[in-house]
Structure formats: structure tokens, C-alpha cells
Structure 1
Amino acid sequence: MSKEVHSIDKDVADLASLGYKQELKRNLNFFSNFAISFSFISATTGIFSLFGFGLTTGGPAFIWSWPIVFVGQLLVGLTMGEVASHYPVAGSIYQWTKHLVGNTYAWFSGWIYLIALLATIASVDFGGAPYIAELMGLDAKNHTLLVIITAVMVILQTLINAFSVKLTALVNNIGMIAEIVAMIVLAIALFAVGVHHPFSFTFETAGTAGTGSYLPVFLAAMLTSTWVLFGFDSAGSLAEEVINPRRVVPKAITSSLFLTFIIGGLALWAFVLAIPNLDEATKAAVPLTYILEKNLGTGVSNAFVVLALIAIFVCGTAVQATVSRLLFSFGRDNNIPGSKLWAKMSKKHDTPVAAIVFSGLFTILLVLSASAETYIVNICVVGIYLAYLSVSIGALIARSRGWNSTTSPWNLGKWGLIVNLLSFLWGVFVIVNLCWPRSPDQPWYMNYSVPLLAIGVMLLGAVYYYSSVYPRDKALQGNSEPASFGLEKDL
């Protein structure tokens, strides 16, 4: 018996000890699991879409939010890695919090995460549609056209994800390599021919603070990095398809975050120093396109647009793979409407096809509204960070009940509690920064749209949970709150 086969058999038995039989097929090694996580984060997608916001909001100095957000997210990633090593089950955050705290807590963590992921697919794909329209010489402001382009992207992603996890992994592997190579080459090219300023220029605020403090402005500009550096948890969502997940998944989570930080930081530094004229850049329709065209020519700029579109497509594919596994995990526990359908596996393709198709159809429905895009972006970001915070809080609750975090193959040892506590504090800070109203001239419901959307989603979930799931679980548990799984013995 080969080492790989033996490892898979051990993983099947390991999953059974956590209460589930092996239904998804274990085809993913470290590289493929890492690629899915890296593609979900996708520095190229985020920076291409948000560089202009950061530059116009906080000036060149906004790039210093990148290492700050990275350190905070690394604390979250380390906490997740330790938990993922204990509970390598599809659905990541939903399953992690179920074992750490209990069913009710996990349901709401998974619910906000599910809605956020569905919104993320729409946000990513619809964000790429205008650039595809421009490359094709079509009207990039025609909403109907953008919806059609988005629908085509979603259909292709759905076909890839439904066909097999191997094909999903192959697409992500190719996309990841192309993204890394292209970003490095682009940064080197800009350093070689496009450096127009000394290093001190990276501290230039461009008058964005006016006569007041730069701190509030910097916190607003920090949202650029906040909107990019997430998605590394996706490695855990596919844990049941990973060989030796207790060791591989935590490494994929942390290493994808590290590489994104290095590649993205290098690119941001190059882009800022390559700004020919700061006033012109901040006034340009797409500041990053302006920088590339001025330094490298229109041809290279268009080539980078194509690269960004590939990254956007691969990112959307990774997000859809993640949300389908979460739906599968919810369905397997009979905890969501349509559970039997979402938990059904295709015998031919070894994928939860119904869950994948639903995520695609729901994405298309989301982008049909011409006024929904802002709300989609808001709920996808705040929802994911709320789900992340739930893991940090869940781990702290489990520790208070006696959970020994050092029993897994990948753990933080004596630093676990400190890292866990710091990740909690960071999560609270990010949520406050995301929800802080910054548009006093807008109607109140727009100014407070982020917290209002989060509250609305949770209230909608509460109606279903307490009318359907909770009464059933309470009856099964003998009229008591479903028990915590936090003290389960790990292998």
C-alpha cells in the first residue's frame, strides 16, 4: 500500500471520528490547497480594483496599511490554522465553531459567512465585467451588458467546479502561477524604468487630511488592504478533499497569506513610486491604468488588465468552491432550507453539484439590480470579518472550558492563547472600522448600511433558525440547548 493511499485511509477514519463519512473525494495536495486559498485572496484582483480608492483617500501613504492589516490577519490565520488542525471538516468556520462552542453559535457563524461568500462571488465577477466590456470595445456602463458578461463568467466557473475538484485545482494552480509570475515581472519592470520618486514619497499624504489629523483618513484608506487580505480560510473549507488535512490545511492558510503579503506589497511599492504625476493620478478614471500606461505603454497596460481578469475569474472560481462546500456542510447537518439537495453528491463528478449550481444562480440574481452593487460589497466584507471574529471568540470560549489546543499536529503551543486574544482584538477593531459611518452627506440608511445589512442578515437567519432548526435540535437533545463540542478529544 502506497504512502498516499495509507494517508487517505487514515484521513477517512479521522473524519469518521468527527462524525462524518467520506463523501467528497480526497484529491488535493498542499500545492492545490494552497493555490485555492491564494486565489481566493488574490492580491491582483483586490489591488487592481481598489488601488485608486486607497490613493485618492489617503495619498501614497495608504500603502502602509498593507503591513498593518497583514499582521492583524496573520493573527487570525494562525488562530484558524490551529483550529483547522483540530477539526479538518468541510465548511470551515461553521464546523470549527460548532466544535469549539456549540450548534447555535456555529449556525449563526456559518449563516453570516454563507451570505458573505455568496455576495463575494457577485462582487468579484461583476467587478471584472466592465474591463471585459472595454477590451471588447463595448459600453462598459451598460448594466444589462455587464450582467450578461457576469453571467457568462459565473456559468463557466460553475461548470469547472461541478465537473471535478481536480479541474478546480488545475484552474487555480495555473491561475496562481500566472498571477505570481506576472506581478513580480510587472513590479521589476516598474522598478527598472518607472521610479519617479525617492522612498520618502511613500509617506506623502497628498493633502488628504486637510487641516486635521491624518489618522481618520488613514483608517479609511486602510479599508483598501482590509478588502483584499481575506479568504485564506478557504483552504479549510475543502479540508475533506485534502490529503493529510490536519497538517496541510494550516500550512496552506498561513503560507498563502504570507505570499500574498510579499507579492502584493512589492506591487504596491512599485505602483506608488512609479506615479509620474500625483495630481494627474488621483484625477484619473483608473489611477493604476494611468500609471502603467505612462511608464510601460498601452500594450503592457492592456496585458495587465488581461492578467487581472484572469485573476478575477480564478478568484471567483475559488470562492464558489468554498461556498458550495459550506452549503454541503450545512445540508449534511440538515440545518438549512433545501438541506437534502445541498448535501447530495454527484457520483460521476464527486462534487456537490446542486450546491454549486445554486451558488451560480444566486450570484446572477444578485447582480440583476442596478442599485445593489454597493450593498453586495458591504455585506460580503463585513460578513466575512464577522465570521472570522466568531472563530477567535469561539476559540477563547473553548479555552475557558478547558480545550487543549496543543493536541493537534499543527499548533501554536504556549503562544496559542496570546495569539488567539490578539486576533480577537484585531477582529473587533476591523469590524468597528468597517462599520464606522464616513458619508455624512448621504441618507442615514446609506451612511449606516454596513451595520444595518449585518443586523438584517442575522435577524433573517434568526427567524429561520428559531422557528425550524432550534426546536428540532432541542427536542433531539432532550429539551436542552445542543451540547458544546468544545471538549471533544482530538486524534
Structure 2
Amino acid sequence: MAEESKHDAGRRGSITGVAEGLSSEDDAAVLAKLGYKQELRRNFSAIEVFGIAFSIMGLLPSIASTLAYSLPAGPTGLVWGWFVASGFIFIVGLAMADLGSAMPTSGGLYWWTHYFASPAARNPLSFLVGYSNTLGLVGGLCSIDYGFALMFLSVIVIARDGEWSPSDGIVYVVFMCTVLLHAVLASTLSKVMGKLQTVFVVANFVLILITIIALPVGRAGERNDGKFIFGTTGNLTTWPTGWAWFLSWLSPIWVIGAFDSCVHMSEEASNATKAVPMGILFSIGSCWLFGFIICIVIAACINPDIEAVVGTVYGQPMAQIYYDAVGKKGALALMSLLFIVQFLMGLSILVAASRQSWAFSRDGALPLSSFFRKISIRMGYIPFRAVWGCAFLALILGLLCLIAPAAAAALFSLAVAGNNVAWGVPIFCRLVWGEKKFKPGPFYTGALSKPIGWTAITFLVFGIMLAMFPVGGPNPTPDTMNYTVVVNCTVWGGSLLYYFIDARKWFTGPKVTLNENDLSEEQQQAIREEGLVVEGLPAAAESVEGVEDVDVDKKV
């Protein structure tokens, strides 16, 4: 009884200072163990956490936005490229679900990196991951809203029978208005944002259902056979055919690239240790299955002259596919539904991006952190300033679309490269340095955890490499160059340069305190060996006889 009372007292102490009504005691205690008080209101249920990831992925609009990556490899690139790459993405999701269940916090990726990395590497790596993840999410917002602008304008082009085409300036104006509207909605709809995710998911499935019925019906006498769908290889690039097929993976890699939003929403999720891994795996699994079905339907109903579809006057291959199947009026209706769902995607990813930015500001890592980390109680306990900060950064990055089509395409692969680094580094750190410190949560892959982790890292490195390649061929011109390598290397190199020149003087990583009762003896010993000061545990210098000059000022 005495031991139980001690545990209860410690548990009550772990949630001291939590604002009343923001969270359940269990969720607040889990967050307190990671060193943070509850500041955001937990408005999201498990299904709504899944909903925000799935709605950001916006399966059909995202596939439509990235057909230019998959169609050049022919039907096999579209269909099998989707299936194989999605399987690898699911493996990445399993590795991240292990971590998300064990340590659910809005800044999860850079928090995990700092916790698991070696003492010498933890601060710079955490700094790099935080900036890469922030850039990746804002880049995702840019690419989604840029895709929305193209879809919206394609409806006007269809209505005018292809006799008008928008300039880059017009595309940017539509993009700018979209980003600003998303910021307004993300700021004012906080109390119902969780419930809206269910609406967004339903809208996605309605659009999928309409499309997989309308296309086969509209092309009833002209559908392609199974050999064309599953066995026909194409190559509209100057790369070797095999490499063109690998480049088709960029479509699923970009589409199924928002599952980490579940992690960023973890401090607003009820029962986060189960809701976060469920959201990650259900969102990836749903996209894997339904995306495969969509790709098969598109391959069955597409004009066999794929080059003509890719080069359509409507500026959007999906618009041409709809037009060929259901005519002008049907294409207008379906493209309108498509861009509406794409618009909802942008709203959801801005919410997720603002939570990552807020969490990083909470630990003092972003410029003007003291300004952006403020929570607006009046607006419903949301990071109002971080929402608008992400929106304005997106408007700046969106200026790439004024340079050239290839620069605009960098908005898509920018998100891929930025997020792959942010996902891969904490998984690597856990496997190499932090396995003894890892305490599994309710979801855990057990003995398969290590091979899953290494497979995930290999795939993520390959994905970064893919995102850097010019998609058209090995001899790019300034107009066809892939500028992702320039943008991302500037961010990665710049953030590390910033760290070593200045930030190393003040950035100490997340401010976390752990209680000795939360750790096994093996984990306590591993932490002591790192020279870390943990609440309730003696410092390494005090507990290890004969050890001198240990840095006991570090905290995890």
C-alpha cells in the first residue's frame, strides 16, 4: 500500500500545473514524463488523428497532382510503382509508430533524435531534424496549395475549351489567396477542427467512389486490358527504363508523406500513446490499398497515348483523363470536387505544420521563438502566431513557381527530401545509440523492431536520392533542373552552420525531466553512462566510482 501511495503521489506530481480541462490525467502524465506541461487542448480522438493524416494525404487529389511523376514510366510505373513504394512507406510507419507510442509529443522527431543520439551528436542532429521537419511540412503546404491552384485553374481552362492558359503570375495569386484563406480558417476553427477531419475523410472517400465508378462507365467501350494495366512499361524520359520506374515512386512517396502529422498532433490527442500509432498505420494502410485501386482504374481507363495525356492542354493529366471519360461537363464537375478536397488537404497540413513549428519554438530553436511559442487562449488554446508564421513562410517558398516549371516542381520534392531526413535520423539514432534507453509504449513491433528500422532508413535514404534527380533525364537545362538539391542543401547546410556558429552556445535541446520510477534499471544505467542529469537519479559522476570530469549539466 505504501508503494502504491508513493506511485500515486508521483503521478499526481507529474501533472502539477496542467491547465484544468485541457487533458485527461493519463495523457497529461505521459506528457509530463517527457518534460512538458499541457498547453494545448486535447480535441482530437483516435479516429480524428487518423483523419488529419488521411485528409492531408488527400489520396485522389494527390495522385492527380503527381501523375506527371508516375505516368512517364507507363502503366507499370503507375500501378506497381505505387504498390511497392507504399509497402516500404508502411515499414517506415511501423518504425515511427514504435516511437510515437512510446513518446508522444508534438516535437516528436527532433525530441526523439535528442533523446537517443550520442552526447556529442544530440544537439546538432536535433537542430537539423527540427529545421528539416519544419521545412518539409511547410513545403508540403506549398505543394498542396500549388496543386490546388493548378486544379482550380484547369477547370477554367476546360470551361474555355483550352483556349486560355494561366500565366505563372496568375497561378501564384491563386496560390497566395489559398494560403491566406487556410491561415484564417486554421485560426478560427480550432474548436471544431477535430470534428472537421471526419468530414474531410468522408469527402475523400466520396470522391474516390465517384471516380472509380465514373471512369470505367465513361470508358466502357475503350477500357484497356489487364496486360496493358499490369504489364506495359513505358519511358517518356531519357533515363534508362528501370530508373524511370523508380522515379515513379516519387508519386506515392509524396502522397503518403503526411503520416508524421499524427505525431505533431499528439499533444492534442486523447489517449495519445494508442491514437498516434493507430493514426500513422491506418492512414498509410488506407492509402496503400485505395491508392492501388485508384491507380488500376486510371490505368484501365487512360488514353493509351500516355504522352498526349501528360502533355494535355488542360495543364493537369487528371483533367484530360476525366475529359476523355465523361466529357466536358463531367470533367468540370469532377475536377471541381477534386480541387475542393485538395483545398481541405491544405487546411489540415497547415494545422500540423504550425504544431511542429510551435513545439520547436517552445524549445527556443526557431528565430523569434519567444514570439511564436505563445498560445492564444482566446482562439481556443492554439499556436495562433505559429499558424501565421507557417503561412507567410509558405508564401515566400511559393515564389519558386514564378521562376520556372522545374522550380515549381521543387515544391513537391522539397517536402519529400525534408521529411525523409526528419523521419530517418531519429530512427537511426535509436538503433545506433539509444536502444537501451527505449521504453516501448502500448504499440511495439517487438523482435522485428530493429530490421524494420534499418529497412525504413534504407528506403528513406533512397527516397532522398530520388527527390534530387531531374525527372526528365540526366542532362537537365536550367528550365528542367531539379532545384530540390539547391533548396534542401541550403536549409540543411544553413541550419548546421547556424548551429555551429551561434546556436551551439544556447541550444541545449528539449527541456525534459524524467522520474526514476519511469525507467528500468538498464535504462537508468544507460542514461547515467550518457552523463545526463535526470530527476531522481544520481549524476554519472556520483554513481560511477572512479569516473571524473563528467558533464552533469546536460538534461534530456
Q: Is TM more than 0.5 here?
A: yes
Confirm or deny that 1:351 pairs with 2:376.
no
Distance between the aligned counterparts of 1:14 and 1:379, measured in 2? 33
2:195 alignment partner in structure 1: 170
Could you tell me how far apart the structure 1 residues matched to 2:149 and 2:343 are?
A: 10
In 2, Cα distance between equivalents of 1:251 and 1:222:
24
SS at match of 1:79: helix
Cα contact 1:58–1:206 (8 A) shared by 2: yes
Distance, in Å, in 2 between the alignment partners of 1:448 and 1:277 is: 28
AA paired with 1:415?
A: L
Query: How many angstroms apart in 1 are the aligned matches of 2:247 and 2:386?
Result: 36
- The residue number in structure 1 matching 2:420 is 385
Residues 1:291 and 2:306 are matched in the alignment: no
The offset of 1:428, in angstroms, is: 2.0
1:26 maps to a residue whose letter is R
Asked if 1 retains the 8 angstrom alpha-carbon contact of 2:90 and 2:281, the reply is yes
Which of 284, 299, 302 matches 1:272? 299
Query: CA 1:71–1:486 in structure 2 vs 1: closer, same or farther (change >3 Å)?
Result: farther
Which residue is equivalent to 1:262? 289
Distance 1:276 1:111, change over 3 A: closer
| 1:332 is aligned to 2:365 | no
Alignment of 1:29-108 (within 5 A): 29-55=45-71, 57-62=72-77, 63-101=79-117, 102-108=122-128
Which of 170, 175, 193 is matched with 1:145 structurally? 170
User: Equivalent of 2:309, from 264, 272, 281?
Assistant: 281
Provide the residue aligned with 2:13 in structure 1: none
CA contact (8 A) 2:123 2:508 kept: no
CA distance in 1, matches of 2:432, 2:103: 16
Shift of 1:284: 3.0
**What are the within-5 Å matches in structure 2 for residues 188-203 of structure 1?**
188-194=213-219, 196-203=223-230
Residue 7 of structure 1 and its aligned partner are, at CA, apart by 7.2
1:313 aligns with 2:343: yes
Which residue in 2 is equivalent to 1:123? Answer: 143
Q: Residue type of the partner of 2:147? A: G
SS in 2 for 1:359: helix
**How many Å separate the matches in 1 of 2:496 and 2:434?**
27
Separation in structure 1 between the aligned mates of residue 294 and residue 395 of structure 2, nearest angstrom: 32
1:323 to 327, 342, 353: 353
Distance of 1:130 and 1:310 partners within structure 2: 12
Aligned twin of 1:428: 461
- Amino acid in the other structure paired with 1:131: M
State the distance in 1 between where 2:284 and 2:178 align: 26
C-alpha change, 1:273 and 1:12, in structure 2 (3 Å) is: same
Distance 1:229 1:175 in 2: 16
Is residue 52–residue 288 contact of structure 1 (8 Å, CA) maintained in 2?
Answer: no
| Structure 1 position 445, deviation (Å) | 11
CA separation in 2, counterparts of 1:210 and 1:305?
A: 27
Determine which of 112, 137, 161 is the counterpart of 2:186: 161
Check if 1:113 corresponds to 2:148.
Answer: no
Task: Flag the 1:471–1:421 CA change in 2: closer, same or farther, 3 A.
Answer: same
**Which residue of 2 is the match for residue 304 of structure 1?**
334
The change in CA–CA distance for 1:218 and 1:353 in structure 2 (over 3 A counts) is same
Name whichever of 135-144 and 323-332 sits farther off.
135-144
8 Å CA contact 1:403–1:487 kept in 2: the answer is no
Give the AA of the match of 1:246.
Answer: T
Q: Secondary structure at the match of 2:442?
A: coil
Native 8 Å contact 1:121 1:320 kept in 2: yes
Deviation track 1:251-288 (CA, whole Å, cap 9, x = no partner) reads: 00000111111221111111110124435435534332
**Greater helix percent: which structure?**
1
Distance of 1:43 and 1:388 partners within structure 2: 21
Deviation of residue 190 (structure 1)? 2.9
Q: What does residue 403 of structure 1 align with?
A: 437
- Structural mapping, 1:458-477, within 5 Å: 458-473=492-507
Aligned to 2:398: 367
2:212 equivalent in structure 1: 187
User: Does 2:40 correspond to 1:9?
Assistant: no
Report how far residue 171 of structure 1 moved.
3.3
Q: Percent identity?
A: 22
CA gap of 1:147–1:6, structure 2 versus 1, over 3 A, is: closer
Structure of greater relative contact order (alpha carbons < 8 Å, 6+ residues apart): 1
Give the superposition deviation at 1:411.
0.8
CA contact (8 A) 2:127 2:496 kept: no
Shift of 1:444: 8.1
Structure-1 separation of matches of 2:151 and 2:509: 53
C-alpha spacing 1:300/1:431, structure 2 compared with 1 (3 Å): same
Deviation of 1:327 (Å): 1.2
- Which is higher, the Rg of structure 1 or of structure 2? 2
Q: Once structures 1 and 2 are overlaid, which stretch shifts more, 186-195 or 28-37?
A: 186-195
For 1:24, what is the secondary structure of its paired residue?
A: coil
Cα distance between partner residues in 2 of 1:190 and 1:476: 51
Residue 22 of structure 2 contacts residue 42 of structure 2 at CA under 8 Å; is this kept in 1? no
Q: Decide whether aligned partners of structure 1 residues 66 and 118 sit closer, same or farther in structure 2, where only a CA change above 3 A counts.
A: same
Unaligned runs of 5+ in 1: none
Matches within 5 A, 1:22-33: 22-33=38-49
Partner of 2:9: none
Number of residue pairs matched by the alignment: 478
Give 3-state SS (helix, strand or coil) of 2:367's partner: coil
Residue 474 of structure 1, CA deviation:
6.5
Shift of 1:312: 1.5
Provide the C-alpha distance between the structure 2 equivalents of 1:474 and 1:229, rounded to a whole number of angstroms. 33
Change (3 A) 1:200 1:456: same
Residue type at the aligned position of 1:261: W
SS at match of 1:158: helix
1:210 Cα deviation after fit:
9.4
Is the CA contact 1:389–1:427 (under 8 Å) kept in the aligned structure 2? yes
| Residue 83 of structure 1: how far off its partner (Å) | 0.2
Alignment RMSD: 3.0
Moved more, 446-455 or 94-103: 446-455
- Corresponding position of 2:8: none
Q: Deviations over 1:421-470 (max 9, x none)?
A: 11112112222222345543325897563333322111211232223321
